[in-house]
Structure 1
């Protein structure tokens, strides 16, 4: 039987699937079936709606951050469906948190690391086959499009060390606060929920409505 705190992560490959719940309900059912029995608490559920071409995983990052804040275990419905996703697997392997997959309960960081290497090898093989096919098409006189450039991220720095630390803490906890706000909770209710989750303030103390407001002001 499962015990402790858990954060669930689901993934839908298209926006249509995310809206319709196609595949999502099956993942939710798998997680609840896996956790069935025992003394456990599901703190939150995060759903990633993404294209297979995207490498960023904002919802996965939020889920991992909540696990770090609360000491919860990340639970995934179906790891086998993600076995060719090197980015996801490496994110999971290097997250520094405990995780479990409902369909592969014996999976661990070593297992996921091997899966990531295999996935990366397959990705490189696909890339090489694509380059070969494009070179052949160009040799036949096929006109190829120009790749689009990508803009660089803007980073901001400066300020005192204490202020940087406070800003850094605010950035980690703000997604959780925003999610609780979206549920219609008041500042007092959010503070109480954070306490229940086991999240500590930047100074390691207890949450109050004012502490929540301070984090929101920094964000």
Structure 2
């Protein structure tokens, strides 16, 4: 707890759950963390065996950070914290990082007890792409493009979270230009119905 309990430490781990990131990408996901504090926390997490440095490439070889096996063991804790935080009063102006949003999907997914849904979607947020699979057994979320999907949904984190947790109909979001759908629109509609408003009306 001395390490992961420090401010920003768990948030750094959260930003690395879905794969390695460069320092600049971590800063983009945690804009309120200063460069010095972020560097210090990364050093501490490295020393504790939670994070390690890696080289990404090709085509360009760049330094990045990723979770160690020990760091990956924190994912269930982060999912439970996301589920707990979803019950807090809504803060509509709070910006959420893409990785925080994807982790929230894993926290709040509830497979229907009737009319099971099985689908594979690609969620495109800016240049970031995630593939999300849902089935009666659970949900999987992975960064990147690894295979065939039923539908691709493109939008901002704010627009996507309103679809999933705020009750905004998909067709309304598409008509407003907030969301773009390519593929099976019906699969997308069924997918978004799997994520209702959290306790207390929280819709972030």
State TM-score, norm by structure 2. 0.27
Rg larger in structure: 1
State TM-score, norm by structure 1. 0.26
Kindly indicate which of the two structures has a greater share of residues assigned to strand: 2
